[in-house]
Structure 1
Amino acid sequence: MNSSVGKMSSTCISMAIRDFYKKHDNYTNIIKPYFRNSSDNVQAASAALDLIKNVQVAAIIGPMTSSQADFVIELGNKEKVPVISQAASPSLSPNNNRYFIRSAHDSTLQLKPITELIKHFGWSEVVFVFEHGQYGRGLVPYLSDAMMNIGTKVTSQIVIYPSVSDDWILAELYRLKTMQTRVFVVHALPQVASRLFEMVTEAGMMDEGYVWIITEGLATNLQYLDDENELMQGVIGIKSYIPNSGALNDFRKRWKREFHSLYPDDDLTTLDMSGIRVYDTVFGLGLALENIAKQKNRDKKMGPRLLPLIRNFRLDGLSGEFNVVNGQLHPSVYEIVNIIGNGEKTIGFWSTEIDGISNKLDNVTKGTLKPVTWPGDSHVIPKGWEMPVSNKNMLRVGVRVGGFDQFIDANIDPETGQVTMTGFCVDVFNAVIDELPYALKYEFVRFVSSDGKRPAGSFDELVLNLSIGGYDAVAGDITILADRSDKVSFTLPYTEAGVSLVVPIKDERKSTWIFMKPLEKDLWITTGAFFIYTGLVVWVIEHRVNEEFRGPPRKQLGMLLWYSFSTVVYAHREKLISNLSRFVVIVWVFVMLVLTSSYTASLSSMLTVQQLQPRYTDINEIKINGESIGYQDGSFVREMLKDMGFNDTQLKNYSTFDQYHDALQLGSQKGGVSAIMEELPYIRVFLAKHCNMYTMTGPIHKTAGFGFAFPIGSPLVHDLSRAVLQVTEKQMMNITNHWFREDAKCDQQKPQMSIEGLGHDSFKGVFLLAGLSSTSALLIFFFRFLYQNREMLVSQDHSVSQKIVVIAKTFDVFRDDESKPSVESNTNNSPAISVFHQEARVDEGFSSTQPGSPVLDTIQVVETISN
């Protein structure tokens, strides 16, 4: 009764009795309190036994601690006297103890807002610090299960006995400090917690990067800690929420006056949640007793009659909705507070309605919290995890600085000598570290010679140095290779992968044969074939009706080729007589119009637009010619080139993009190189700088890209690989644009690469049209010709070869207006030839029987065959 809790509770009970009967002045059953001390377990059990046996109380309020309540509840169950206590240990269950009514929340219920808080900030590991005893141990298994459900690991559990020395607590804290986890959940009563946080401050564990979360039992009793505000700045607490109301404010004022009147020398005790719940408990008891008074059965003992009325009741009290169901006070809302300055600030709530955290009591803002001030007066959300490296404070990250400044470079302050690392690879590494779910302190260490002016070795030597413990990690433009992976572990790559050639380009407008380039080879061949085919079709159709298509063979061959090719420039002047040949030529002229228009447009583009072609397209051409090829100094590309068959005299190493440019400008003949073999990230940067002069060519030899290296077995590899994916998805484009933005001038004047010639695929339609029209006309002509000479074909007395000769001679010798020979059978069944004479046209100037006439020539040939 001399403790702060005892003074506060007794004052609240007395005031509740007066207030209840002032409000219900017509009630006949009056509560009479009997107060007893319970400073330890034995005294609590003795006091309870005295109250039950000697005073014969109807119910017992208290005690407050779980260990004392355990004894008293056992007595209450035995003697059938209800025990109303705020003991929150889950080992004390109203379900197993019928006469136990818990007027506080089960301590396991607070794990929901705690886990939601940890999940909200993404902390993957926690340390549980708890007080020895029933109060502390009861929560341990439930906390482990709750953390497991959200994927968070409890890496360590520290038990603090009330009797241990401060040195023991300090030693345990130093041990925790050497571990990786920086999130601590403390479940202890004020007396132990006060000593704990004093040692936490001394150990330097209230600095930036640490997280301390206290459970409800401590968060609601901070006033009992020594210098709590100074020791616990930035701590987050979970406690039951009491809604502010006029009745509560009025009671606080009245309680303060009465308390000071009773205990004028006590300036430390303040009204807290436990006192308010005691007040509401008395109101519940008063209502239950009045209901008993209305019952007719008065022979039954008071405890059993009272029990059902207080195991289930509900009232709107000072603490809000005071709802007891089956002996357990049901939770409604938890408040998340941040200890700042001289008090605490509410940063959020958890309630059963929204089943999550929110900075307001609504569903709209679910998943949000107000800004938090963390230990060390920091406003940066702690990562919750730090990687200790060989008991050192910093992760030593080795970097090889060469001449490719955009990727990685070192700036040295001439006055202080301080080294600042910059570049694309550095920004990516920094962004990846920021994405880790924990804090990782690191420093860049240059891999340079003793004079600090050049790299200390190749990239392979840097990786070897890491494998033997020279560094804790390696960052920069390190390519992931199979032989390197045997020595170290790599993260996922963060750049594109591959190796290719960079060669000078030449302008195709200066080529002697550029006029051939508008059409591809297959289109030239197809066009030429159609020229000949079309000319042949026209000659066949016109040969029998048009004098200009007759004459000696050389003349006819020339006419065939001339007429067809002259259509290109529409220079043909020969008059066509047959409608079939006219149809063929019309279609072919249309085809020529399409072809010549396309050819003209393509050639114009080639002559007006700069045409850039790689000087070399095959690396074997460079090797066979004995020309030189360049590579980056210290790169694995040298060994790749040697595997391709290049000898040492052909290989030249360079360290900057400017050296690449100078070497390519000189060429192999003047001491430079014909090409540069390099990785794609470097090629992109180099070509962006020299857009008019060089191009990438040849196949891309696959590699895995750039990655960060760590010793084999390092736990950081998995976490950084995951962080690499996050940076690649969210930030890589911005980082790339910052370092590799293409020159604006180069972007404006960027030449177009070679315009490809037109292929036959683009003209399939017109060639199909020309082929169909020519072939159709040719077939119509032949069918008509054979029909006109059907007498020769139907003869049964002569061989096929004789008929073919006569038909061919008829086609070549006779015009359509001349008589034609016919094959007939004589009466003696011997071969004979009779000729159906037609009158020759007078204007032809010759007779069908004149010597040398076509008819006589044909007769002579046929007679010779017959004989």
Structure 2
Amino acid sequence: MEFRGLRQTTILSFFTFCCLVHHLYGDIEKTNNDTNPIIVEDQVHVGVILNMGSREGKIILSSISMALSDFYHLHNNYSTRVVLQSKDSSGEPLPALSAALGLLENMKVEAIIGAQTRAEANLLAELGEVAKMPVMSLSPLLTDKKYPFFVEIMRTDQAAEVKGISALIEVFKWRDIILLYDNKEYERDFIPSLVNSFQEITHGSVAYRSSNIASFSSNEEIIEELQKLMNLKIKVFVVHVSHLLVPRLFFHANKLGMMSEGYAWIMTSTSMNFLHSMDLSVIESMQGVLGFKSSIPASMSLRSLTSRLRRQFYLEDPTMEATREFSTDVIWAYDASWALEEAVERTRTKGSTNRSSNHGVVLLREILQAKFKGLSGEIRYPNGKLISSGFEIVNVRGKGERRVGFWPCEEEIFTKDRRNALSINNLETVIWPGGSSTIRKGSKRRLSGIKLRVGVPVKKGFKELVHVYHDLHSNRTHVTGFCIDVFEAAIRGLPYKVDYELIPFEDANAGLVGSYNDLLYQVYLQKFDAVAGDTTITSNRSLYVDFTIPYTDMGVGMLVPNVVKENMWIFLEPLSANLWLTSAGFFILTGFVVWVIERPVNEEFQGSASQQIGTIFWFSFSTLVFSHSKRSTRLLLAQLNIF
């Protein structure tokens, strides 16, 4: 009985197992026949090229990784998965390009995020064009060349920022400003616009432009340049340099006493956006600095990301200094990752999962069509650039900065009067270097101890432009001409007095020592502070010196009297009366010669005297309006006799 019971139990268990298998098989078959198929993940490889040796690069990579985790946690039904392939660029363009090539060939990446410097951005943009692959960059380009596959994922509304700085200068009525900028990276786009904007305001003019220091400059070079700026006795600085230069720049400025009361420093968003990624010692040396920072609205999601990043880096390195906020690049990279992941999913749902020749074009189109609310505000990339949401005007105080005002984006500026967009009333109290809340207004004064050495070309012709002559009786050299008048008028228009000396560029025989290139090169060698004369702006010369805006165009022209005669005979004006008579005489002579040749053999040239004279005049003047189709009879017979 026990054996039989065991046997029944075994049979029952086997029957139950078969029913279970049938039930499962039925469910699987039902699932396969259902309208919603089983989700099969399609992996899409994306390259991330950052300076992994820097703290900023590590934070950005962690932000991108968290963006992927958050995105797919919210969209777990998506059929695609972005897989990150990170590479170290070491902050240099060539390693960045090499890393991108390796990712493209070995990992078949379909997009790249990174490019923290302009040099890296340029090389990766070129690669993106060749490979037809979107490149999402954290830095703008060095050139104006258009790259359709290049997408700027950071906000760089330079036109609006330039107007904001000009408005700030006008609010505080500063008259003389020093521009301190990196000549290698930032002069081409930002500085000319800023100088032009200063010319539109009542107060403020550029007294001096300093471009002799960069992120690769030595400490001795930085100190030497700052000491030269101190001697100018001008205490208002507009700084547009890389954030890599900021720590050493303000460390030495603070050491030289240039962060004391009376000084004013204004920084652009290029470096101000990275303030929270700098060490506390750097921030302490920047106390009182006023700057523009890309606006990032506060939100619970932003606090959550900041808290998670801070916790992650604390677990990795408990000795690392805690960061209250992160740079805007971290937030922009997070939002760009969401845009890329959404674009990848749309490309897979709209087309084939296999990579085709035009897949990069489709993926780029989906990225440019992205539109959502991100951590940094509204995310859209029209024309390959992230739209701007305006700038915060912040004042460095304590361990960070304090917001004292807001400057809207360019579109909002043009909807109202720029002068009303910023005023002293809608700015909170600014604490300047030295702890003072008041700043001395600019005034017209003489730059003591400074005398400009201005080189002048010596030439033989065109004395109306520049003329150098020596008065032997008074033993004095006089320099005159239109170019000199323009230079002296510009000096008189400055808000301060400047002493200058016009020095002819001549040899012992009162002749030009070299060419105009040699003359301008003396400015680069610091033997002259400037050159006044009829010098032409060329690309080669622009590598060594700065030019003013052209004040005249020495092209080819025509001078005509401004007199208009309204009569029917105006067509006779181009030729004189004697020339008209001479032409008429030759026409009559031609008709007479033809009459002499044709009269014996051509009946049309025979008849009465009046008919023959009429034929002569008719033949002469008829050539003005048409060409005779018949050849002269006598001439035709002469040609036949030849043969």
TM-score (norm 1): 0.43
Instruction: Answer with 1 or 2: which has the greater Rg.
Output: 1
Alignment root-mean-square deviation, CA: 3.0
Deviations 1:471-496 (A, max 9, x none): xxxxxxxxxxxxxxxxxxxxxxxxxx
Partner of 1:97: 147
Whether the aligned pair in 2 keeps the contact of 1:335 and 1:348 (CA below 8 Å) is yes
Counterpart residue type for residue 215 of structure 2: P
Supply the distance in 1 between the matched residues of 2:216 and 2:164 (Cα, whole angstroms): 31
Could you say what secondary structure the match of 1:197 adopts? Answer: helix
Partner of 2:238: 185
In the TM superposition, 1:234-633 aligns within 5 A as 234-267=288-321, 271-297=326-352, 299-352=356-409, 354-355=412-413, 368-384=426-442, 387-388=445-446, 390-391=448-449
Could you say what secondary structure the match of 1:91 adopts? Answer: coil
Whether the aligned pair in 1 keeps the contact of 2:380 and 2:387 (CA below 8 Å) is yes
Whether the aligned pair in 1 keeps the contact of 2:413 and 2:421 (CA below 8 Å) is no
Deviations 1:757-800 (A, max 9, x none): xxxxxxxxxxxxxxxxxxxxxxxxxxxxxxxxxxxxxxxxxxxx
Matched, 1:213 2:271: no
Deviations 1:588-619 (A, max 9, x none): xxxxxxxxxxxxxxxxxxxxxxxxxxxxxxxx
Supply the distance in 2 between the matched residues of 1:168 and 1:236 (Cα, whole angstroms): 25
Supply the distance in 2 between the matched residues of 1:328 and 1:42 (Cα, whole angstroms): 25
Whether the aligned pair in 1 keeps the contact of 2:276 and 2:327 (CA below 8 Å) is no
Whether the aligned pair in 2 keeps the contact of 1:312 and 1:326 (CA below 8 Å) is no
Deviations 1:619-657 (A, max 9, x none): xxxxxxxxxxxxxxxxxxxxxxxxxxxxxxxxxxxxxxx
Deviations 1:715-766 (A, max 9, x none): 8899xxxxxxxxxxxxxxxxxxxxxxxxxxxxxxxxxxxxxxxxxxxxxxxx
Supply the distance in 2 between the matched residues of 1:98 and 1:108 (Cα, whole angstroms): 20
Change (3 A) 1:301 1:357: closer
Partner of 1:108: 158
Supply the distance in 2 between the matched residues of 1:65 and 1:115 (Cα, whole angstroms): 27
Whether the aligned pair in 1 keeps the contact of 2:175 and 2:495 (CA below 8 Å) is no
Partner of 1:528: none
Change (3 A) 1:266 1:278: same
In the TM superposition, 1:809-820 aligns within 5 A as none
Supply the distance in 2 between the matched residues of 1:390 and 1:56 (Cα, whole angstroms): 64
Supply the distance in 2 between the matched residues of 1:220 and 1:134 (Cα, whole angstroms): 17
Which of 87, 102, 115 in structure 2 is aligned with 1:36? 87
In the TM superposition, 1:168-179 aligns within 5 A as 168-179=221-232
What is the deviation of 1:230? 2.1
Could you say what secondary structure the match of 2:87 adopts? Answer: coil
Partner of 1:202: 255
Partner of 1:593: none
Counterpart residue type for residue 147 of structure 1: F
Percentage of matched positions with identical amino acids: 34
Supply the distance in 1 between the matched residues of 2:358 and 2:269 (Cα, whole angstroms): 37
Deviations 1:158-197 (A, max 9, x none): 1213343333322322222232532211112233121111
Counterpart residue type for residue 152 of structure 2: R
Whether the aligned pair in 1 keeps the contact of 2:119 and 2:142 (CA below 8 Å) is no
Counterpart residue type for residue 176 of structure 2: E
Partner of 2:576: none
Counterpart residue type for residue 228 of structure 1: V
What is the deviation of 1:6? 1.2
Supply the distance in 2 between the matched residues of 1:138 and 1:145 (Cα, whole angstroms): 12
Matched, 1:48 2:113: no
Whether the aligned pair in 2 keeps the contact of 1:66 and 1:135 (CA below 8 Å) is no
Whether the aligned pair in 2 keeps the contact of 1:354 and 1:363 (CA below 8 Å) is no
Whether the aligned pair in 2 keeps the contact of 1:144 and 1:154 (CA below 8 Å) is yes
Counterpart residue type for residue 126 of structure 2: E
Change (3 A) 1:384 1:374: farther
Deviations 1:501-539 (A, max 9, x none): xxxxxxxxxxxxxxxxxxxxxxxxxxxxxxxxxxxxxxx
Matched, 1:19 2:37: no
Whether the aligned pair in 1 keeps the contact of 2:407 and 2:422 (CA below 8 Å) is no
Supply the distance in 1 between the matched residues of 2:225 and 2:110 (Cα, whole angstroms): 48
In the TM superposition, 1:648-797 aligns within 5 A as none
Whether the aligned pair in 2 keeps the contact of 1:108 and 1:139 (CA below 8 Å) is yes
Partner of 1:725: none
Change (3 A) 1:43 1:164: same
Partner of 1:139: 190
Could you say what secondary structure the match of 2:381 adopts? Answer: strand
Counterpart residue type for residue 147 of structure 2: N
Partner of 1:396: none
Supply the distance in 2 between the matched residues of 1:717 and 1:87 (Cα, whole angstroms): 38
What is the deviation of 1:18? 0.5
Change (3 A) 1:208 1:311: same
Change (3 A) 1:195 1:387: farther
Could you say what secondary structure the match of 2:181 adopts? Answer: strand
Supply the distance in 2 between the matched residues of 1:366 and 1:291 (Cα, whole angstroms): 49
Supply the distance in 2 between the matched residues of 1:147 and 1:364 (Cα, whole angstroms): 15
What is the deviation of 1:121? 1.6
Which moved further from structure 2: 117-126 or 83-92? 83-92
Change (3 A) 1:224 1:12: closer
Counterpart residue type for residue 154 of structure 2: A
Change (3 A) 1:54 1:382: farther
Matched, 1:222 2:275: yes
Q: How many residues were matched structurally?
A: 394
Change (3 A) 1:224 1:716: closer
Supply the distance in 1 between the matched residues of 2:345 and 2:182 (Cα, whole angstroms): 42
Counterpart residue type for residue 131 of structure 1: D
Partner of 1:64: 116
Whether the aligned pair in 1 keeps the contact of 2:276 and 2:400 (CA below 8 Å) is no
Counterpart residue type for residue 342 of structure 2: L
Change (3 A) 1:106 1:343: closer
Supply the distance in 2 between the matched residues of 1:350 and 1:357 (Cα, whole angstroms): 13
Partner of 1:117: 168
Could you say what secondary structure the match of 2:85 adopts? Answer: coil
Partner of 1:8: 59
Change (3 A) 1:75 1:374: same
Whether the aligned pair in 2 keeps the contact of 1:88 and 1:107 (CA below 8 Å) is no
Supply the distance in 2 between the matched residues of 1:214 and 1:716 (Cα, whole angstroms): 23
What is the deviation of 1:308? 0.8
Change (3 A) 1:156 1:9: same
* Structure 1 unmatched runs, 5+: 393-712, 719-867
Change (3 A) 1:235 1:169: same
Partner of 2:206: 154
Supply the distance in 2 between the matched residues of 1:356 and 1:264 (Cα, whole angstroms): 49
Supply the distance in 2 between the matched residues of 1:254 and 1:273 (Cα, whole angstroms): 16
Could you say what secondary structure the match of 2:320 adopts? Answer: coil
Partner of 2:554: none
